[in-house]
Amino acid sequence: MEAEGLDWLLVPLHRLASWGAAGAMVFGGVVPYVPQYRDIRRTQNAEGFSVYVCLVLLVANILRILFWFGRRFESPLLWQSVVMISTMLLMLKLCTEVRVANELNVKRHSFADFDPHHFWHWSSFSDYVQCVLAFTGVAGYITYLSIDSALFVETLGFLAVFTEAMLGVPQLYRNHCLRSTEGMSIKMVLMWTSGDAFKTAYFLLNGAPLQFSVCGLLQVLVDLAILAQAYAFARHPQKPAPHAMHPASAKAL
């Protein structure tokens, strides 16, 4: 009887909590990129941020949207992909403008050159848009032809979340090669780690497809590896070469 009397309070609270969790899923993934975006605009230097992070997230979220057509999952996860794609395009636009402005007398490269040596290192934002549209068109056409195959749909879902789980690998590799995390925003990586942990818990608690939960856990492990790099390189900093140029602080993952 007492429980029924509290329904007027518990039901709205439960609904509010659900909306809050859904909102966090939709927008929480892009929040860590806000300080990176502001740092790049302030310093006019994008060397500390790997644009391959944008490539990974664009591919992963395009594949996730296509996966939705074959196996419907919760709407917040779908809208999260739409918001993330928009955010990565904004990041690419800023990074491209800053990089081109800082390059003097350098030959321009475009997507239409089809030069693998300069893939994802083009001189105009429109080239990145062309590449994204081309990938979306090809992947969408293949999905349309194979949508009735359960094996294809499940493989598509796995590729989507596995690609996203590899998000931190470009930054991890860059840090390893430079033996430094200079230019990488620790605040962003911490926000990324907490966001991935929340996202993985959301997957587990809401019965998302198994691929989402497994790859979410993998993503958290990659985040922790990057934080371990930051700690290790801070304790044993690399001595700069006499004529080496250090990238100005911008950001990373």
Q: What is the pLDDT of residue 14?
A: 63
- pLDDT over threshold 50, residue 246: no
- pLDDT-derived band at 57 (thresholds 50, 70, 90) equals very high
Exposure string over 42-54, b if 16+ CB within 10 A, otherwise e:
ebebbbbbbbbbb
- pLDDT over threshold 90, residue 235: no
pLDDT, tens digit, 9 for 90 and up, residues 158-172 = 898 888 888 788 778
- pLDDT-derived band at 248 (thresholds 50, 70, 90) equals very low
- pLDDT over threshold 60, residue 245: no
Q: What is the pLDDT of residue 34?
A: 87
pLDDT, tens digit, 9 for 90 and up, residues 87-117 = 999 999 999 999 888 877 667 888 888 888 8
Mean pLDDT of the 3-25 span: 68
DSSP track, the chain = -HHHHTHHHHHHHHHHHHHHHHHHHHHHTTTTHHHHHHHHHHHT--TTS-THHHHHHHHHHHHHHHHHHHS---HHHHHHHHHHHHHHHHHHHHHHHHHHHH--S-----GGG--GGGTT--S-HHHHHHHHHHHHHHHHHHHHHHTT-HHHHHHHHHHHHHHHHTTTHHHHHHHHHHT--TT--HHHHHHHHHHHHHHHHHHHHTT--HHHHHHHHHHHHHHHHHHHHHHHHHHSPPPPPTT--PPPS----
Q: What is the pLDDT of residue 149?
A: 94
Structure tokens given for 49: 């941020």
- pLDDT over threshold 90, residue 125: yes
| Neighbouring residues of 112: CB distance < 8 A, sequence distance ≥ 6 | 127, 130
- pLDDT over threshold 90, residue 62: yes
- pLDDT-derived band at 126 (thresholds 50, 70, 90) equals very high
- pLDDT over threshold 90, residue 67: yes
Q: What is the pLDDT of residue 249?
A: 35
Q: What is the pLDDT of residue 200?
A: 86
pTM of the predicted model as reported, rounded to 2 decimal places: 0.76
